[in-house]
Structure 1
Amino acid sequence: MTHHARHTLAFVLALGLAGSPLMARENLVTPFSGLTNLPGSAWESLEFPDIDQHSQYQLVQQDGQQVVLATSSDSASGLIHRVAVEPGDSLILRWRWKVANVLEEGDARRKSGDDYPARIYVAFEFEPDKASWFERAKRKTVSALFGEELPGKALNYIWANRLPQGDMIANPFTGDTMMIAVNSGQDQLGQWVTVERDIVADYRRAFGDDPPELTGVAIMTDTDNTGGTARAWYGDITLLTPDK
């Protein structure tokens, strides 16, 4: 297994560690604007095996509000927020972000281009009754190696380089993660962009089924595959039922 595949696996693994399920009657994601510090908060640092260079995340003031500044130089790491929520018929994920640049070598269709100035993961519980014998056996082996139970499928909202806005494709490392280009290219560089997605509708479009329990939300700015540099700002992320 390559170190790139291991860091993808480790990221998904960390997203799967959550408690008992809850219904989403309020925002289940701690807003960055209300934090005093990142260390010790609900947003946990995530670092990957065999990757010595880590992306940096810090609280900063930007345009009158506290946000997270992410910087990456030939590096990869993320911040994760674990949750446990039943999606129901609709579950709205809303956030705002800003990027300083896209990655010239970034290409969501290739392993060597699987880097993004900004992305948000949404991970779901593994459903063994819907998996093949091979998939169950593979997960059992990997779980034994990592010492934890693996989650299931994931949606990955990205600021893409080449992939057109609105397109959805499988991650080049695993078909269990679908990449959705919610922004693409250079047209909105340096501007705050607000994104709202119904993750239930996106899951159904991606995998042709209703989603199981939601287990985690994460942000990540990474450049380890392309060797590039990136800088992005993440504003508050909200996870709400439609009536909120």
Structure 2
Amino acid sequence: MLLKRQWLLPWLLALQPAAAENVIGIGEFSRNSLDGWEPHRFKGETLYRLQIAEGRAVLHADSRAAASGLFKEQTIDLRQTPFLNWSWRVGKPLSGLDEQSKAGDDYAARVYVVVRGGWAFWQTKAINYVWAGSSEQGRVWPNAFAGEKAMMLALRDAQAPLNAWQAEKRNVRDDFKRLFGEDIVTIDAVAIMTDTDNSAGQASADYGDIWFSRD
């Protein structure tokens, strides 16, 4: 038995790095951590705080006629870990907005990925995965302010239950191919935002952990 264990140990240790690379943590809120996340303010300030919900720490967002987000700069190789995973829920939704217009460009919850253009800021691209208030689930449209450089994708809509966790899993590389017609192999940042500045409304949401995975 001892010889068998001695033979197995190097094999098991060799597997650990590969297994670790299969998952890349981005938002480890359940560990009560906001390490690496930085605020970005557009108008006013959405309040973000870690709080306990159903026995685990989550990121709570409360927005009142404000638009600010949290972003984390981290390069992700989509050839290795193309899947973005997270969970979220909305407590107070937004409704009745024309989300394709500047006046209605507000969302109770959104998670987005960003590809920076370096010095050429106009080459920056983003996919916004949004919890829509009026657009139907699955709809895609260009952002009212950024145009086709930032594409919106409604993962949830007004039919989604409130105060109920929803799990998401997106192949980001495939989404970039579909929405931009380009094979993007790395992204540079992930962001979260609950915003209500254009409509002067109110919204609240919770975000669970965020991570990239190989499959």
Question: Which of 113, 124, 129 is the equivalent residue of 1:157?
Answer: 129
User: Could you tell me which residue of structure 1 aligns to residue 9 of structure 2?
Assistant: none
TM-score by length of 2: 0.84
Give the deviation of 1:104 after TM superposition.
2.3
SS of structure 2 residue aligned to 1:122: strand
Question: Which of 28, 32, 35 is the equivalent residue of 1:35?
Answer: 32
Q: Is the 8 A contact 1:168 1:178 kept in 2?
A: yes
Give the deviation of 1:101 after TM superposition.
2.6
Q: Is the 8 A contact 1:102 1:186 kept in 2?
A: no
User: Could you tell me which residue of structure 1 aligns to residue 211 of structure 2?
Assistant: 238
Q: Given the alignment of the two structures, is residue 74 of structure 1 paired with residue 65 of structure 2, yes or no?
A: yes
Q: Is the 8 A contact 1:221 1:230 kept in 2?
A: yes
Structure 2 Cα separation of the partners of residues 228 and 70 of structure 1: 14
Runs of 4+ in 1 over 2 A off after TM superposition: 104-108, 125-128
Identical counterparts, % of pairs:
36
Structure 1 Cα separation of the partners of residues 72 and 78 of structure 2: 16
Gaps of 5+ in 1: 1-23, 129-135, 140-149
TM-score by length of 1: 0.74
Q: Aligned pair count? A: 194
Q: Given the alignment of the two structures, is residue 45 of structure 1 paired with residue 17 of structure 2, yes or no?
A: no
The alpha-carbon distance between structure 1 residues 90 and 27, as it changes in their structure 2 partners (threshold 3 A), is closer
Q: Is the 8 A contact 1:222 1:230 kept in 2?
A: yes
RMSD between superposed Cα atoms in Å: 1.9
Structure 2 Cα separation of the partners of residues 189 and 74 of structure 1: 21
Gaps of 5+ in 2: 1-20
Question: Which of 14, 27, 49 is the equivalent residue of 1:58?
Answer: 49
SS of structure 2 residue aligned to 1:205: helix
Question: Which of 182, 203, 207 is the equivalent residue of 2:180?
Answer: 207
**Structure whose residues are more often strand by fraction:** 2
Structure 2 Cα separation of the partners of residues 96 and 225 of structure 1: 26
Give the deviation of 1:27 after TM superposition.
1.1
Aligned pairs (5 A) from 1:89-108: 91-108=82-99
Larger radius of gyration: 2
Structure 1 Cα separation of the partners of residues 47 and 159 of structure 2: 23
Q: Is the 8 A contact 1:165 1:181 kept in 2?
A: yes
SS of structure 2 residue aligned to 1:190: coil
Q: Is the 8 A contact 2:70 2:192 kept in 1?
A: yes
User: Could you tell me which residue of structure 2 aligns to residue 132 of structure 1?
Assistant: none
SS of structure 2 residue aligned to 1:33: helix
